[in-house]
Amino acid sequence: MSNEQNPTTPSDIAWNAFVAAARGFALHLDQWEKIKFETSYGPVYVSISRSDPYPDSFSEIDDD
């Protein structure tokens, strides 16, 4: 994200809200959750899990 400490764009604010919601949801996650929804650009797939075959391929987001 371009400005994690002081989000100014709607995109930054939405991203921070998404990450905070995912963190809160993950506190109660026992294995995985997969959802799909449609957008004007096409389908979006979201997968949240406790394991991944390539765990080092993810960007880590600070708790701030």
Q: What is the pLDDT of residue 52?
A: 87
Q: What is the pLDDT of residue 59?
A: 87
Q: Where are the domains of the chain?
A: 10-55
Q: Write the CB contacts of 20 (distance below 8 Å, at least 6 apart in sequence).
A: none
Dihedral of the CA atoms 21, 47, 58, 52 (nearest 10)? 130
Biggest CA-to-CA distance, the chain: 35
Tokens 């701030």 correspond to 64
What are 48's strand-pairing partners? 33
Per-residue pLDDT of the chain (64 residues; tens, 9 = 90+): 444 566 689 999 999 999 999 999 988 888 899 999 999 999 999 999 988 899 899 888 877 5
